[in-house]
With several copies, the nearest count.
Chain A
Amino acid sequence: MDLSLTESQEMLRTTARSFMQRETPVDVVVGLQKAESSLERDLWAKAARLGWLGIVLPAEYGGSGDSLSDAAVLYEELGRGPLPGPFFSSGVLGALTVLEAGTDEQRRRILPGVATGETVLTVAITEPNTSWGPGGITLAPQGRNGSFVLNGTKLFVSDATSATDLIVAVRTGDGPTDVSLLHVDAKARGVSTRRLPGFLSWQCEVSFDNVQVPATSLLGEAQRGWAALSRALERAIPILCAYIVGGCQAVYEKSVLYTQTRVQFGVPIGRFQRVQDHVVRLVNHLDSARWATWEALWKLDTGRPATASVHMAKAVASEAYLDVCNAAHEVHAGMGVLIEYGLPAHTQMSRTLFHYLGDPRWHKRRMADALEW
């Protein structure tokens, strides 16, 4: 048994943390919030040079062949920002989806560009019904001259406004999981993307208006898309959870510091049991998310059955981040709602990720199924 990071993971953490401190202090993160695209060119290029964009990819596809746990160490640091940008959408979920679904030719064609950052992927799954199950996928392409024609909408697609390539889950049969994955050029005629406005982070609408997609854009085989996507999700979700854990950790540190330095009634507010209790609630969530996430990662990296653990991790992490931010707002009162202070960026991200890739109820029910109760 060993619950500490490896030496190389500690190094990665140190590198990532100092990069973040240098390149993305709070004012940078806050400044990015209003941009239509979450991708900041300069940051993206630097991240590519550090090998972060191909961290989950094997060396043969231009990646660094690191374990999921290694990637999680990085994403925990990114989550501290919370650093926006399609890091996860492209470098993790997109990359793993192509890896799981694509033919070897497709992998070799698409993935090296993902690692270099030239290609920016996002995976478009949900539709206006907002369901994360295969039943929620109703966008059905019509066949025409051996190619597909897409008409319809994908909703709450992460980072679509910065993507160069979309992986679109489409319905190609009547069976419950008759889903295929299409690789669509984001600049193809008829594709439009826009960031949805409001209290959420780069969740986008993607519209398809008579979009012609060549037959060769079918990733792997038809009808096998859902199985491939499920495998990719199972590996990607714990990395998203690590991002959330990083967010919780940053909010925790902010909150502890505030209780130690903010003076009211003549003493630091941390002296008040009520304020302490907000922090206690916060740290309990943080640690719940952390250890559920790391156990899932460990199971995946060691080839153990991990499905139930992954579902549990996402349920726990989603609930944790939401309430961690609530607790932090109670600690900070008015100060916490100042945009420039940086807490609202986490709050907004926590709401976004509550639902993204499945909300707690969804994952709890899938967990129960996986445990075969």
Chain B
Amino acid sequence: MDFEVTYTEEQQRFRREVRAWLEANVAPSMLRTPTSAEDNYRRYLELRDLGRKLGAKGWLYPTAPAKYGGGGLDVDHAIILEEEVDRFDLSLPPYYDSGGRLGSASILVWGTEEQRQAFLPPIYRGEVRTWQLLTEPGAGSDLAGVRMTTAVRDGDGYVIRGQKIFVGSDNGTDRIWMIVNTDPKGKRHENLSWFMIDASLPGITMQPMELMGTGGEGGTDSGVKQTVFFDDVRVPAFALVGGENKGWTVATTHLELEHGGGGRIGRNRVWDRLLRYCQETKRDGVPLSQQQDVRDSLADIYIKTEVQRLFGLRNFYLTYARKPKSYEGPQLSYYRKTTGLWMTGAILEAVGPAALTTDPAWGAPSGFLETQQRNGIVSVHPGGTTDIQRVQMARRIGIGRSTREKAGTVHGAE
């Protein structure tokens, strides 16, 4: 076995190139905690700009096929990129782009050649941001139960109406990747379809939801998600991906990736900052990290983050070495979610109420522990609750149902 990528001289050169480029193009201010709504928006625009620059180099979606505007890089180069971006506390993309990540992967597998050519380049180049729209008031864990948002064929297009909730973050989106019901009387799993549409179409309105936290992807802890309303929104037929009423098949790819099937390499950022905080914060003259109770808590937390890293590494390896997977995707997701929730208690016990405040004097730097206290809870739900992850695991292990369920396809045309 080999738990590390062995880099060639050429790859090390690439690393140096990436690092130099990032140092030149990532301003430290991009990582600031916004001081106001306007500042938040300005910061967002800076990150989008960075995304476009990364996209132009093929580094925004490094392993995506070059012919559609992706980087076309092999996995080793992609790892180098992820590692280097990680050094700046950023992810790829450096802003919330859920529909871009998951929609593009789905389109790669299930879209027509024309759709790939039309939809993928703007995503891969960072020209558009895309949000995914799945949940409805009546369909959360039960995604197959989507019913409130419908698309009805009308001439050369479709008319969408309905409502989606828990969408995106703040500062709006360019594109929408959504699942709707296209046959209200149809059988379960045979009545859904996916659309990739413009967010600016007439009839689409958004209204922010105020939440305890967002638990979102790297950096976007705006505390806001949107309710999106569709009032007879006309979309072209071309926007339908994977075929009418074939949406559940497409969803298997989408969900496999969302459920952790793709794996992940890289360290746990909360851990790094937590350790540093405990080393730098003294109580009664002694660093927290030198107090036995705190040390014991830190050891438990560290081990869980390490196991999570190892699960992510394994899934990453299985994905890119194209090895068969079964329960590993939802296992990573389940482990990550339950660990995050458990960590809220472990950190609170270790650090005390300082973990709860964003106060610059008495809380942890940039309130990162307070964010963890919220997001450790909130993250348990998006992309499938812990309960749903266990449903998936059990099916793939081959218990609970008469036939063993397979992992969704995550490799597309290349």
List the A side residues contacting B327 at CB < 8 Å. Answer: 283
Q: A333–B385 Cα gap in the complex (Å)?
A: 7
Q: A4–B4 Cα gap in the complex (Å)?
A: 13
Q: Please determine whether A365 and B331 come into contact, CB atoms closer than 8 angstroms.
A: no
A1 touching B362 in the complex, CB below 8 Å, given contacts A334-B381, A351-B373: no
List the A side residues contacting B385 at CB < 8 Å. Answer: 330, 333
0 or 1 for each of A261-295: is its CB under 8 Å from B? (1 = yes)? 00111101111111111011001100110011011
Q: Please determine whether A130 and B5 come into contact, CB atoms closer than 8 angstroms.
A: no
Q: A322–B293 Cα gap in the complex (Å)?
A: 20
Main secondary structure on B side of the interface with A: helix
Q: Please determine whether B334 and A364 come into contact, CB atoms closer than 8 angstroms.
A: no
Q: Please determine whether B1 and A294 come into contact, CB atoms closer than 8 angstroms.
A: yes
- Scan residues 325-370 of chain B and give those whose CB is less than 8 A from a CB of chain A: 327, 331, 334-335, 341, 344-345, 348-349, 352-354, 356-359, 361-363, 367, 370
Q: Which of B4, B341, B362 has the most chain A CB atoms inside 10 A of its CB?
A: B362
**Chain B: minimal CB distance from A96 (Å):** 21
Taking the complex as formed, is B142 at the interface, i.e. its CB lies under 8 A from any CB of chain A? Answer: yes
Taking the complex as formed, is A307 at the interface, i.e. its CB lies under 8 A from any CB of chain B? Answer: no
Q: Please determine whether A280 and B380 come into contact, CB atoms closer than 8 angstroms.
A: no
A316 touching B303 in the complex, CB below 8 Å, given contacts A1-B2, A264-B141, A279-B399: yes
By beta carbon, the residue of chain A nearest B345 is: A322
**Chain A: minimal CB distance from B122 (Å):** 29
Choose from A277, A292, A373 the contact partner of B307 (Cβ within 8 Å): A292
Taking the complex as formed, is A312 at the interface, i.e. its CB lies under 8 A from any CB of chain B? Answer: yes
Taking the complex as formed, is B299 at the interface, i.e. its CB lies under 8 A from any CB of chain A? Answer: yes
Which segment, of B17-25, B49-57, B206-214, faces chain A? B206-214
List the A side residues contacting B370 at CB < 8 Å. Answer: 198-199
Choose from A131, A316, A368 the contact partner of B295 (Cβ within 8 Å): A368
Q: A129–B352 Cα gap in the complex (Å)?
A: 10
Which segment, of A19-27, A240-248, A352-360, faces chain B? A352-360
Choose from A271, A348, A373 the contact partner of B298 (Cβ within 8 Å): A373
- Scan residues 204-260 of chain B and give those whose CB is less than 8 A from a CB of chain A: 209-213
Q: A71–B90 Cα gap in the complex (Å)?
A: 41
Taking the complex as formed, is B390 at the interface, i.e. its CB lies under 8 A from any CB of chain A? Answer: yes
By beta carbon, the residue of chain A nearest B390 is: A280
Q: Please determine whether B135 and A373 come into contact, CB atoms closer than 8 angstroms.
A: no
Q: Please determine whether B1 and A2 come into contact, CB atoms closer than 8 angstroms.
A: yes
Choose from A198, A271, A326 the contact partner of B359 (Cβ within 8 Å): A198
List the B side residues contacting A351 at CB < 8 Å. Answer: 348, 356, 373
List the B side residues contacting A123 at CB < 8 Å. Answer: none
List the B side residues contacting A325 at CB < 8 Å. Answer: 377
Which segment, of A41-49, A167-175, A339-347, faces chain B? A339-347
Q: Please determine whether B1 and A298 come into contact, CB atoms closer than 8 angstroms.
A: yes
List the A side residues contacting B334 at CB < 8 Å. Answer: 280, 284
Q: Please determine whether A1 and B140 come into contact, CB atoms closer than 8 angstroms.
A: no
**Chain A: minimal CB distance from B379 (Å):** 10
Taking the complex as formed, is A165 at the interface, i.e. its CB lies under 8 A from any CB of chain B? Answer: no
Choose from B3, B302, B323 the contact partner of A298 (Cβ within 8 Å): B3
- Scan residues 136-183 of chain A and give those whose CB is less than 8 A from a CB of chain B: 136, 155-156
By beta carbon, the residue of chain A nearest B279 is: A373
0 or 1 for each of A227-267: is its CB under 8 Å from B? (1 = yes)? 00000000000000000000000000000100110011110
By beta carbon, the residue of chain B nearest A281 is: B390
Q: Which of A198, A264, A272, A288 has the most chain B CB atoms inside 10 A of its CB?
A: A198
0 or 1 for each of A292-312: is its CB under 8 Å from B? (1 = yes)? 101101110010000000001
Q: Please determine whether A291 and B307 come into contact, CB atoms closer than 8 angstroms.
A: yes
**Chain B: minimal CB distance from A245 (Å):** 13
Taking the complex as formed, is A337 at the interface, i.e. its CB lies under 8 A from any CB of chain B? Answer: yes
List the A side residues contacting B139 at CB < 8 Å. Answer: 264
Taking the complex as formed, is A107 at the interface, i.e. its CB lies under 8 A from any CB of chain B? Answer: no
Q: Please determine whether A274 and B141 come into contact, CB atoms closer than 8 angstroms.
A: no
List the B side residues contacting A315 at CB < 8 Å. Answer: 303
List the A side residues contacting B299 at CB < 8 Å. Answer: 364-365, 367-368
Q: A75–B211 Cα gap in the complex (Å)?
A: 28
Q: Please determine whether A3 and B358 come into contact, CB atoms closer than 8 angstroms.
A: no
**Chain B: minimal CB distance from A52 (Å):** 21
By beta carbon, the residue of chain A nearest B328 is: A287
Count residues of B near A (Cβ-Cβ below 8 Å). Answer: 84
Q: Please determine whether A295 and B275 come into contact, CB atoms closer than 8 angstroms.
A: no
By beta carbon, the residue of chain A nearest B188 is: A266
Which segment, of B152-160, B175-183, B311-319, faces chain A? B311-319
List the B side residues contacting A371 at CB < 8 Å. Answer: 302
A197 touching B359 in the complex, CB below 8 Å, given contacts A288-B307, A373-B279: yes
Q: Please determine whether B374 and A1 come into contact, CB atoms closer than 8 angstroms.
A: no
Q: Please determine whether A284 and B399 come into contact, CB atoms closer than 8 angstroms.
A: no
- Scan residues 83-136 of chain A and give those whose CB is less than 8 A from a CB of chain B: 128-131, 135-136
Q: Which of A156, A294, A329, A334 has the most chain B CB atoms inside 10 A of its CB?
A: A334
Taking the complex as formed, is B310 at the interface, i.e. its CB lies under 8 A from any CB of chain A? Answer: yes
Q: Please determine whether B374 and A199 come into contact, CB atoms closer than 8 angstroms.
A: yes
Q: Please determine whether B377 and A326 come into contact, CB atoms closer than 8 angstroms.
A: yes
List the B side residues contacting A35 at CB < 8 Å. Answer: none
Taking the complex as formed, is B386 at the interface, i.e. its CB lies under 8 A from any CB of chain A? Answer: yes
List the A side residues contacting B310 at CB < 8 Å. Answer: 288, 291-292, 295
Q: Please determine whether B394 and A2 come into contact, CB atoms closer than 8 angstroms.
A: no
Q: Please determine whether B397 and A330 come into contact, CB atoms closer than 8 angstroms.
A: no
A337 touching B353 in the complex, CB below 8 Å, given contacts A198-B359, A329-B380: no
List the A side residues contacting B135 at CB < 8 Å. Answer: 334
**Chain A: minimal CB distance from B124 (Å):** 25
Taking the complex as formed, is B89 at the interface, i.e. its CB lies under 8 A from any CB of chain A? Answer: no
Q: Please determine whether B394 and A291 come into contact, CB atoms closer than 8 angstroms.
A: no
**Chain A: minimal CB distance from B108 (Å):** 23
Q: Please determine whether B1 and A198 come into contact, CB atoms closer than 8 angstroms.
A: no
Choose from A128, A259, A316, A334 the contact partner of B399 (Cβ within 8 Å): A259
Give B contacts to A, CB under 8 Å.
1-6, 135, 138-142, 145, 165-166, 209-213, 275, 278-279, 283-284, 289, 293, 295-296, 298-300, 302-303, 306-307, 310-311, 313-314, 317-318, 321, 323, 327, 331, 334-335, 341, 344-345, 348-349, 352-354, 356-359, 361-363, 367, 370, 373-374, 377-378, 380-382, 385-387, 390-391, 393-394, 397-401
Closest 4 CB pairs of A and B: A270-B399, A198-B357, A276-B394, A291-B310
A to B CB contacts below 8 Å, 10 in the list: A1-B6, A131-B283, A273-B400, A279-B397, A288-B307, A291-B307, A315-B303, A337-B212, A337-B377, A364-B300
